[in-house]
Amino acid sequence: MLCKRSSLIIFGAFIFVAWNVILIFVLSGRPFSQHASQAEPDNTGEGEGGQVGSILNEVMRVADAFEAELKSQKKILLQIKSQRSLWEDGKEGEIDVQQKSDAVPSPPVVIPVLVIACNRVTVKRCLDKLIEHRPSAELHPIIVSQDCGHEETANVIASYGSHLTHLKQPDLSDIGIPPQHKKFQGYYKISRHYRWALNQVFNKFAYTSVVIVEDDLEVAPDFFEYFRALHPLLKSDPTLWCVSAWNDNGRDGYVDPGKASMLYRTDFFPGLGWMLTKDLWTELEPKWPASFWDDWMRHPDQRKDRSCIRPEISRTLTFGRKGVSLGQFYDKYLRFIKLNAEFVPFTTLDLSYLDKKTYDESFEKEVYGAQIVTMEELQSSKPGKFRVQYSSPGSFKTLARNLGVMEDLKSGVPRAGYRGVVSFFSRGRRIYIAPPAGWSQYDPSWS
């Protein structure tokens, strides 16, 4: 519509100019040519005087006519101008709206960090690293939720003042549990605390996502960069339900030091520094378990075939040997986890390879294109990509144990596994512990 109106205005202006050119030519040329054809030599003074008067009269007549025509044309010009001004106002309005739309970007997302604390005064190590590495207090507020009522720990947290928000879980009572679970009272309290703290984050403070760490975790320099880059993917991809900073098999000597930027999909819920959305919490909260919340998360009823993102090299490191798990796995595995020291600018990288369809196609080719070998052949192999195959929970555990990776299964899913495959790097070799080609689903009875 605007384009049509613009064309009419230009055409009108052209007609106006052309008409005036013709008019000037006709009005100025006609009397002089008429005078020249009628004029004859006259030697008398009276004849010359009459001729001059006649010319002046004709010029005055032409001037009057020309003035009248100019007034008429002025009216036309004013009409054109008024229409043009309306058109330009509309066009400028459109441009203005577009510019305003372009000039107001979406505000950057706020991703808080929730620190689950209890009675460890060493929470200071966790908090010091969080504050040291966070790029913005506004974009990454730190909320420490403390259970247990431990005064010394409370004093350490309070000493950070405005650098964080300190919450105290109000219900410190013992939980009624079955007699056979008496020794697991701590697990019940942790589950209760998680539920209360996450409700505070999502319902009281109204955040839409959160990264959870516990008080015995140290974070890497690019911890915040990692989660900020993966937040859009977590929000948009329904096949994902968490992003974790942890690699269960990320011990020094079992990761590729040259692949600090490499990320993977995993079917195993890693925890230990992980991000979830409010939408997921709305789904989980009504059925949140009384205890053992992390293993509950690994059950098919909760996972629903969704995956998490994990790194090649962990962005968290646990330093808490003592806890409710009594150091399970700590001495053998966890204390050797390699913490990434190289800052990777994840927000500038193309992470589209993590899209499920793209990832799965590449994953299948990579794993099942690797040379299949026996354990004996693997021990003497040179650097390259190799696959060792299992067909039962027993054969998986034997391979994992012999190769030095974590051997336990949760609801049939191996730690760090994806589509049944556990990948790690050792002595220049990328090794895949994999089921036969054609894998379709996990067997929850494998444990």
List active site positions: 294
CA distance 330 to 422: 20
Containing 372, the helix (H) or strand (E) segment is strand 371-372
Residue found by looking up tokens 């056979």 in the block: 180
CA distance 442 to 421: 11
- Look up residue 337 and give its DSSP letter: B
CA atoms lying within 13 Å on the CB side of residue 330: 14
- Look up residue 395 and give its DSSP letter: H
Backbone conformation region of residue 28, classed left if phi is above 0, alpha if psi is from -120 to 50, else beta: alpha
- Look up residue 338 and give its DSSP letter: P
- Look up residue 322 and give its DSSP letter: S
Contact 123, 213 (CB under 8 A): no
Residues shown for the chain: 447
- Cross-strand partners of 372: 387
> Hey, is 444 helix, strand or coil?
coil
